[in-house]
Each structure stands twice: as C-alpha cells, then as structure tokens.
Amino acid sequence: MHEDIVRTRAFAMPLTSPAFPIGPYRFHNREYLIITYRTDPQKLRELVPEPLQVDEPLVKFEFIRMPDSTGFGDYTESGQVIPVSLRGRKGGYSHCMFLNDHPPIAGGRELWGFPKKLANPTLRAEIDTLVGTLDYGPMRIATATMGYKHRAADLASVKAALQEPNYLLKIIPHVDGTPRICELVEYYLEDIDLKGAWTGPASLRLWSHALAPLAELPVLEVVSATHILADLTLGLGKVVHDYLAGSEPSRQKGRAHELTK
C-alpha cells in the first residue's frame, strides 16, 4: 500500500476497517433522563479543569437511550455532566460517561475526547416510572427514577439548554507515554427536533466504585428532573484551549523519541 493511499484513507483505526464511519452523526428518537442534583462544591471544583469555571455546585446525571444513530447503531449511555461557564458563556463539561457499544466509545474518544468507558447502562419505562440504571461489570453503581411524564416541561427552555456549548478534555498520549494532545474541545448539538419534554418527581442513588467514581460527587439534594425525546445531530468540535501550548518539554520529549527510532 503506497504512502499516498495511507494518507488518503487515514481517518480512524484500523486503517482498512475503521471502528466508526465518517459523520455526520444523526440520532433519531434520542431519549434522555437528566437528574440535576446539588453536590459538594469543593469536590466539584477539584474535578473541573481551568479555564472552565463552576458557578453553582450542581451536577447533571444523564441516562441517554439511542435506538437509532448513524454509524453507531443502538446503544445506551450514562454519566455526569457539570454545568460550567467559559468566558461568561454557560455550558456543560462531560466529567465521565459509560456506555455499552464499542464504535461510539472509540469514535467519541478519538474525535471529540468524550471520557467514555465500557459499562452497562439502561433506560426504560417500568409501569408508571422512568428508570435508569448503570452497572459497571456485575456491580450497580447508579439508579435513577422519575415519575413518567407527570408534567410537560417548557420546550423553549429545554431546547435552549440542549443548544448550549458542551466541553470535553481531549487527551491523546504520544507513543512514549507523554501527552501529545491535551485540549479543551467545544461542540454543539445541531438540527434539534425536540419532540417532547416532561418533568416530575425524581430520585438518584450512587454507589462507590474504584474505577467508576461517580459517588465522588455525592448527591446532597435532587434539584430537578427532565425527560426528553428528540432527533438531533452530534456536531464535530473545535479546540478552545490547548494545555500544551506553552509546554515545549513534553512535546520535545515525544519528538526526540520519534527521531531515535
């Protein structure tokens, strides 16, 4: 295979059968259960990287059911998103995410920098209750419940929240283990067709786990819950902060390793 062919085909690994296709990535009937809760402000600030700022000690615990997504198939996701601001603009920082499908794990990490790990989340209606669960291996680490469609939510407010910027910390190491990419990435949800949104009574319980430390941000008070159904496109991102911009030593170390091969 000629070098030009390698360069032309290079998009994702493996070269001859990438783990995920080139976008755009459209999601149909994407269903959310989002429980916003109050947590320990000191622990929250210790986990959010500058230049992002924490305005209130809040966390959004999300369960997302995606039955029809371009290239990624049918899967479910769960994790914590922290409301933040960057230069006065409000958005959300994805702290950790757990899902049950390899292509969006690979694509999410490699393209955007989503902090995705393999686990087993579920989201389903059980009689009169919307139930979200998250298992890491055989252990239950999160359970959320919400009254099913008790009250209609304000669609304009929900859509405005979905349109806010989202932030990710993208980290890709060099072959010698030093950081080659360490960037704050901003992305948006696009072409949103909001089909419905509801609110109701809710509960959330988290359990400690060494490799899925959700409970490090403890639930002190449930503030609100939202159930959302929408079609949307996951937009590609842009770099808004480069943590290595002034860090030549780590870059030179990686370059020196390349030259000695």
Exposed/middle/buried for residue 236 (C-beta within 10 Å: 0-12, 13-18, 19+): middle
116 counts as catalytic = yes
| Catalytic choice (60, 90, 116, 170) | 116
Classified as helix, coil or strand, 92 is: strand
Contact predicate 57/44, CB 8 Å: yes
Cβ neighbours for 34, distance < 8 A, ≥ 6 positions apart:
60, 61, 62, 63, 225, 226, 227, 228
Q: Strand pairing partners for 235?
A: none
Cβ neighbours for 173, distance < 8 A, ≥ 6 positions apart:
179, 180
What one-character DSSP code corresponds to residue 57? Answer: S
β-strands 116-118, 89-99 pairing: parallel
Q: What span, in angstroms and rounded, lies between the C-alpha atoms of 141 and 206?
A: 6
Q: What span, in angstroms and rounded, lies between the C-alpha atoms of 39 and 48?
A: 13
Classified as helix, coil or strand, 86 is: strand
Enumerate the active-site residues. 116
